[in-house]
């Protein structure tokens, strides 16, 4: 067969999300915004002798690092999308980045929890006005970041109101969004706790709301670890899609003996199917039956000939 005749039977394995480059640009903007806030807080705190400002600046640095993981994952996945070393492309790199970012988020939550417990046992003197001002400034930055990232995120963090949307989800974008949302939630809780402590003398409110924030952020991190980890382990992404594949292929006595379905990128799934048939058709005929199924981007079909029982008295 000539090379040019083979072209119509070959295809690329680019399984990036539909808005990959757009999402990449947004994450880089948020990285820049977070990094600028970090530098401003550390520099300002050092110049004006504010330990609270310096501490919050270093706190921002952990989020800047985690967001950088997301941004670099987008960049690497795009640049290596056609690299033949990746058997099914680089679409799952975002899930790997999301998983790693969720681990970082959980570590940040545990550090907040540790600091909160320490302050419960050994209360410290807090400059309430300065601390509230810092938290308010951080909240503004996080709200701006959330606005930049927020038009395609999972608003319900694991509660799948929209089944199809969930399976097309960009876990890398979601991890970046959860980081800024977690920081925003921390800022809101800090403002409430510090205000209550300053107005009413409830000095324990600040560490108590810190523990509440720890629980909330850990729950978000766990949801992201669970969902991104499921993709990395090639769990069946959509049982309904698996059922639709069987329904379309099991006609006229044909039976599916083996079916593997997994996600290879946001909005992209791959399937390997083995069929048993009395009267097998070419593999292309079976692929044509699946052509209209959404998000099924890579299909391999194997057909095994299995003659039915011979009529009684017929020659073997």
pLDDT of residue 212: 84
For the ranges 76-85, 203-212, 274-283, 289-298, the lowest mean pLDDT is seen at: 203-212
Mean pLDDT of 108-122: 84
Question: Measuring CA to CA, which residue among 213, 227, 55, 63 is closest to residue 157?
Answer: 227
Cα–Cα distance measured from residue 126 to residue 121, given in angstroms and rounded to the nearest whole number: 15
Question: Measuring CA to CA, which residue among 157, 183, 165, 171 is closest to residue 70?
Answer: 171
Q: Strand, helix or coil at 257?
A: strand
Q: Assign 181 a pLDDT band (cuts: 50, 70, 90).
A: confident
pLDDT of residue 245: 92
Asked if the model's pLDDT at residue 229 lies above 90, the reply is yes
By the 10 Å C-beta count (0-12 exposed, 13-18 middle, 19+ buried), 150 is classed as: middle
For the ranges 241-250, 290-299, 304-313, the lowest mean pLDDT is seen at: 304-313
b/e per residue 54-66 (b: at least 16 CB within 10 A): bbbbebbbbbbbb
Torsion angle, alpha carbons of 127, 128, 134, 136, to 10: 180
pLDDT of residue 172: 86
SS (H, E, C) 42-72: HHHHHHHCCHHHHHHHHHHHHHHHHHHHHHH
Q: Assign 16 a pLDDT band (cuts: 50, 70, 90).
A: confident
Q: Is the CB of residue 193 less than 8 Å from the CB of residue 210?
A: yes
Q: Over the chain, what is the mean pLDDT?
A: 80
User: Tokens 């948020």 appear where?
Assistant: 30
User: Tokens 């920081």 appear where?
Assistant: 183
Question: Measuring CA to CA, which residue among 231, 114, 109, 116 is closest to residue 178?
Answer: 109
For the ranges 16-20, 59-63, 244-248, 297-301, the lowest mean pLDDT is seen at: 16-20
Cα–Cα distance measured from residue 121 to residue 127, given in angstroms and rounded to the nearest whole number: 19
pLDDT of residue 227: 92
Mean pLDDT of 181-194: 80
Query: What confidence tens digit (pLDDT) does each residue in 143-176 have?
Result: 888 888 876 554 444 443 344 444 557 888 888 8
């Amino acid at each position: 067969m000539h090379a040019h005749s083979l072209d119509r039977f070959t295809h690329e394995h680019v399984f990036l999300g539909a808005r990959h480059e757009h999402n990449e640009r947004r994450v880089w903007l948020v990285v820049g915004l977070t990094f600028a806030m970090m530098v401003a807080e550390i520099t300002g705190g050092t110049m004006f002798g504010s330990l609270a400002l310096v501490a919050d600046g270093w706190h921002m640095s952990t989020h800047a690092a985690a967001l950088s993981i997301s941004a670099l994952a987008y960049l690497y996945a795009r640049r290596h999308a056609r690299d033949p070393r990746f058997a099914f492309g680089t679409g799952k790199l975002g899930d790997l980045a999301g998983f790693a970012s969720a681990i970082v988020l959980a570590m940040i939550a545990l550090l907040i929890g540790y600091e909160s417990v320490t302050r419960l046992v050994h209360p410290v003197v807090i400059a309430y006005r300065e601390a509230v001002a810092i938290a308010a400034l951080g909240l503004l930055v996080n709200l701006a970041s959330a606005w930049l990232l927020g038009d395609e995120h999972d608003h319900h963090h694991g509660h799948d109101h929209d089944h199809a949307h969930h399976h097309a989800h960009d876990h890398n974008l979601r991890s970046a969004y959860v980081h800024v949302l977690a920081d925003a939630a921390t800022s809101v809780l800090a403002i409430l706790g510090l205000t209550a402590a300053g107005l009413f003398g409830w000095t324990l409110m600040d560490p108590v709301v810190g523990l509440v924030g720890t629980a909330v952020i850990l729950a978000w991190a766990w949801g992201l670890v669970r969902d991104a980890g499921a993709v990395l382990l090639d769990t069946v992404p959509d049982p309904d899609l698996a059922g639709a594949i069987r329904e379309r292929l099991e006609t006229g006595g044909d039976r599916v003996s083996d079916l593997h379905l997994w996600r290879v990128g946001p909005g992209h799934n791959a399937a390997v199917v083995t069929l048993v048939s009395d009267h097998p058709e070419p593999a292309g005929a079976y692929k044509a039956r699946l052509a209209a199924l959404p998000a099924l981007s890579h299909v391999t079909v194997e057909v095994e000939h299995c003659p039915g029982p011979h009529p009684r008295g017929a020659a073997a």
